[in-house]
Structure 1
Amino acid sequence: MPTGVAMRDVRRQLFDAAERVLLSEGPSALTSRAVTDEAGCAKGVLHRHFADCDAFLAELVRDRIARIEGQSDALVAAAGAGDVVDRLTRVLTELFGSVAVAVVGLVVSRDTLRTRLRETTPVGIPVLTEATAVVASYLDAERKAGRLAPEADVGALAPMLVGTAHLLFADRLAAAPGTATVHRAVAGVLSGVLPTPDP
């Protein structure tokens, strides 16, 4: 983009460009130059809006976290209806079928980025930690609705579900697992706490 041409919603354009670079080239390719080239703007644009590349990447990750946390209320409100395994299969597929897996790789690969993210995610791995909290809230709502066993340990089940899904989707160069594979994994994790169907 030529100098002097206004960019609308600069942050969103830069975030979208960063996600495209992340998906196509991986975390090691994510530089300020790569992002601004992908966005079609001068390198200085990024530095006018963010202190440095790590500050930009921290905001990119926080934006992704906000999207994940934004799903929580709707998911909890859906508790009590539909099939629990089907719903979690969809939620986990949407979560990890997107750029989230690549963002996790980015967080894991950059110590300086993780240090910045400790301000908002003091423990655990950012993105995975927040996804686990969202899944735990949903499982708790389903337990309260009587659709999981009263003794179901949602604090243990949620990280098991998120960790299992992350492993299924972790190889960004391989084909994503099919719905049946994710469904089978979710059903396996929840097998001891789902009600037994009537004969």
Structure 2
Amino acid sequence: SHSNKMGSAAPTLPKRPIRVLISGAAGQIGYSLIPMLLSGRALGDDQPIDLVLLDIPSCKDKLEGVCMEVQDCGFGLLRSLTPTVDGKTAFEGCDLCILVGGFPRKPGMLRADLLKKNGGIFSAMGKAIAATASRNVKVVVVANPANTNCLIAALNAAQIPKQNFSCLTRLDMNRAKGQIVSRFGLFSANDVKVEAWLS
């Protein structure tokens, strides 16, 4: 900022609020992300947020409880809070989508069954993002298998640049490191460099 002749800083204009969506917001991971966003640890302590919390209809009551907790916290960066169970309209105008919600693997469930179930979920989210989100939206996929779910969402959002999609694969990286350490008799996973990517 610039200083005037009296030495005080010129006022800075507040940032435009960004619209952030968390899917699976009533679940433990989605719930734990909310304070990180609204305290400024994720996007900066001067970034106002319009927060959209999305979950499935069977979690509607739990989602409303999460919203009451968020309101009770009085986060200064929160400009608006929108709970919804409507996956078709939730992404409207979103600048950042954090896709935590996915179908969990049940006992006895084959990986192919899990992929099919999540394929439908992430295909629908990709289409909704393409239809209603900001053209510059950034999408982060958390739900496992994150790389496959990310690819499915990206393929169903052809209007959004592919580089705007990413997924969190730290668990996969840690597992790969553990396998390498075990296989080659290394002392520590710190000695192993692993990268994961999606093209």
The answer to whether the superposition gives a TM-score over 0.5 is no
Looking at both structures, which has the greater relative contact order when contacts are Cα pairs under 8 Å and sequence separation is at least 6? Answer: 1
Q: State the TM bucket, normalised to the shorter chain.
A: under 0.3
In proportion to residue count, which structure has more strand?
Answer: 2
